[in-house]
Amino acid sequence: MADLRTDVVGARPFVYRKKRLGCGAVGLTELAEEFGTPLYVYSADQIRYRFGLFQAAFAGRAHTICYAVKANSSLAILRLLGEAGAGFDIVSGGELERVRRASKAALKRVVFSGVGKQVWEIDAALKAGILLFNVESEAELSVLAERAEEMGVRARFALRVNPDVFAETHPYISTGLREHKFGIAIGEARAIYKKAKRMKWLDAAGVSVHIGSQIRMVEPFGAALERVLGLVGELRTDGHDIRYVDAGGGLGIDYGASDASDGEGVTAEEQVRRYAAALEGALGGEGARLLLEPGRFLVAQAGALVSRVLVVKKNGAKTFVITDAGMNDLIRPSLYQAHHEIVPVTQGAGEDAVVDVVGPVCESGDFFARDRSMGRVKAGDLLAVLDAGAYGMSLSSNYNTRGRAAEVLVDGDSYGLVRRRESLKEMLGAEILA
């Protein structure tokens, strides 16, 4: 069983007090009784704390922290970060609308990434006056020029270049190599910028790079940025006014740790410090505004998925703890074979047992943990799947016609429902019977 620390400022927010797990001062048992399960619970204090670490680490440089909306697109979390001064990294027109609703003033701090932007999405972003388009192909750049001319708006853009830097992470979330669908080969970028210089409605304002997600070693970030800055120098020689360098996101966390640590046993503060040092070492005296796109690092450890045990079942030598949450609520273990700590909401006595923690979905791949040693539980007990604030709700689905979970945001000793549980009526409302 994870031994969650309770005495570290800035540590993970889910801690035991008198053998009951809470988010800060608010008990998870009470939240489950009021709002039901499955239930996502987020800590506003933890999100602010981690955003503040980035702000402090780069305080000596002109910068904007553009939260990656895809990690967790809750309107409440977007509003919280917008009020703290964040910009936003979006990858769809839907995410743009989320930013508009949560923090309209932050639209001027939006960067639009993604390999397949549709015309209506480009138009909406131009109309909103976003900060920057991160363009991922020469064909996309041509479409952007056409739409900008049609709307009479000059479009600021950065080419997302592929530096061919290897970052040790899951292959599904690695993006910086030449065989990936993302970006433009860095050796081809200068010629494309030259073509763009002849397009009246385009403003080559920056260069962008993003090498992947859940990267815990900081050296690849510095190596990628060094290659980008070499290109920036060439572009300025060619007469381009490069004002932004977008270093992307991808800083990872340690999903296995049970205390305040992130990445090789260091604290979140130390991990951000190391990350900043790697980037600053590459940047040197570069005067362009630095854009950063953290997502997971800001919200993952601020969230937990609370579920109730339906039954404990034995099949031969295997013991299955079957919960009311499933892969439709949190797909990371099934999709990425990702590890999440799972703990009882109420600590019990007795020996730990080796179990598979699984959901009710009709798939053998519906699991949260296999052969996991954890405290003994019984039907009706509550479990918390930790570090679930990123790519949990945002990757959830209605598979097996299961409604998406409710979400609660805890702020200090207060809390509120920020998304109600999805009903059958809402799930079926868009369908048509002739």
The angle at the Cα of 72, spanning 71 to 78, to the nearest 5 degrees, equals: 120
Burial (CB < 10 A; 0-12, 13-18, 19+), residue 172, is exposed
Domain boundaries, the chain: 14-43+301-428, 113-294
CATH number (3.50.50.60, 3.20.20.10, 3.90.1580.10, 3.90.1170.40) of 113-294 reads 3.20.20.10
Please tell me the predicted confidence (pLDDT) of residue 143.
98
| pLDDT value, residue 180 | 58
Rounded Cα distance between 300 and 396, Å, is 15
DSSP string for 190-219: HHHHHHHTT-TTEEEEEEE---BSSB--SH
Residue pair 145/197 in contact by the 8 Å Cβ criterion: no
- For residues 319 and 313, is the Cβ–Cβ distance under 8 A? yes
pLDDT value, residue 175: 44
Query: Rounded to two decimals, what is the model's pTM?
Result: 0.93
Nearest residue to 288 (alpha-carbon basis) of 205, 214, 357, 222: 205
* Whether residue 171 has a cis bond before it, omega within 30° of 0: no
Which DSSP symbol is given to 404? P
In the numeric block, which tokens belong to residue 345?
Answer: 């909401």
- Evaluate whether 76 touches 409 at the Cβ level (below 8 Å): yes
Helices (H), 25-64: 28-35, 44-57
Catalytic residue flag (residue 362): yes
Q: What local confidence, expressed as pLDDT, does residue 1 receive?
A: 35
Q: Look at the block and give the residue holding tokens 């909306």.
A: 69
Quote the CA–CA distance of 301 and 386 in Å, as a whole number.
7
pLDDT at 263: 44
The torsion defined by the Cα of 271, 276, 282 and 287, in degrees rounded to 10, comes to 170
For the chain, the first-to-last Cα distance in angstroms comes to: 53
Spell out the long-range contacts of 174-180 with Cβ–Cβ below 8 A and sequence spacing 24 or more: 174/211, 174/212, 175/210, 175/211, 175/212, 175/213, 176/209, 176/210, 176/211, 176/212, 176/220, 176/224
* C-alpha closest to that of 92 among 387, 300, 394, 392: 394
Contacts 24+ apart (CB under 8 A), 135-144: 135/159, 135/160, 136/160, 136/182, 136/183, 136/184, 137/184, 138/184, 138/192, 138/195, 140/115, 141/192, 141/196, 141/202, 143/117, 143/119, 144/202
Domain 14-43+301-428: which topology?
A: Lyase, Ornithine Decarboxylase; Chain A, domain 1 (2.40.37)
CA distance linking residue 395 with residue 347, whole number of Å: 30
Catalytic site residue from 139, 317, 349, 362: 362
Block mean pLDDT (10 aa), the chain, length 434 = 39 89 96 98 98 98 98 98 98 98 98 96 98 96 98 97 68 46 87 96 97 90 94 97 97 72 70 96 97 97 98 95 98 94 90 95 96 94 98 98 98 97 97 94
pLDDT of res. 265: 64
CA 410, 411, 417, 418 torsion-angle sign: negative
